[in-house]
Amino acid sequence: MSEQQQRAPDVIGNDWRNWGRRLVTYIAQTRSTLVQQNGDENAADDGTIMWDRENLWPVISRSGVWRQIVIANGVAHLEITTDQTAAATNTAYPLTFTIMPGSVGVSLGTPASRIVFAEGGAYTLSFTAQTSSSSGSTVNFWFWPRLNGVDIADSGMQNTLHQNGATMIVSRTQIFNVNAGDYLEAYWATDSTNGSLQHHAANAFAPATPASTLAISRINA
């Protein structure tokens, strides 16, 4: 490409339409487009970027392997803004969240307790729940995730409240590996119907407090 082609065209005179046409031509000649990957390209040289036509994402060669470049997808913030109660003790109940605006690559399935991932990869999930007791006796709570309907081993949490009116925030951040189309659910249980997950409305000096929140972010493919 000549030096003249590398520079954006200058405005000459008052003919803006002519300059606009020359600018469009310049952009068409100089824009960078990723080479389409057909499947037989060699990844021997590190740092080559291509577009994977089959999976519809960019890839980069590293250590002899084509690796996906994670683009902005797989981010979500979910909330529950109503009290959650248990109709029966020692019974697993799924939590049904609402996805907040700005979430991408994550959706609610059927039933709505299912959190569905559009793309596979490793995701960081940060969970919180505000437990509350209306009993003077000990009340226990349990929380755990299920992936595709199956409990995840060694993933549970338990906390205990001992006083009427007591409240405690339960939280955990954990990494999950999922495939495209997998779904995750958050479950809870309590050994007393006096135990619940409580939300609180906003007041004059503080915003509202959700009963539960879940933040999701994809960290790699």
**pLDDT tens digits, 195-216:** 999 999 999 999 999 999 999 9
What integer pLDDT is reported at residue 74 of this predicted model?
A: 86
Q: Provide mean pLDDT across the span 68-82.
A: 85
Listed in order, the ranges of the chain carrying CATH 2.60.120.40 are 75-220
pLDDT mean across residues, the chain:
88
Q: Provide mean pLDDT across the span 29-57.
A: 76
Band (pLDDT 50/70/90 cuts) for residue 2 is very low
Q: Can you say whether the dihedral through the CA atoms of 119, 120, 126, 128 is positive or negative?
A: positive
CATH class of 75-220: mainly beta
What integer pLDDT is reported at residue 1 of this predicted model?
A: 43
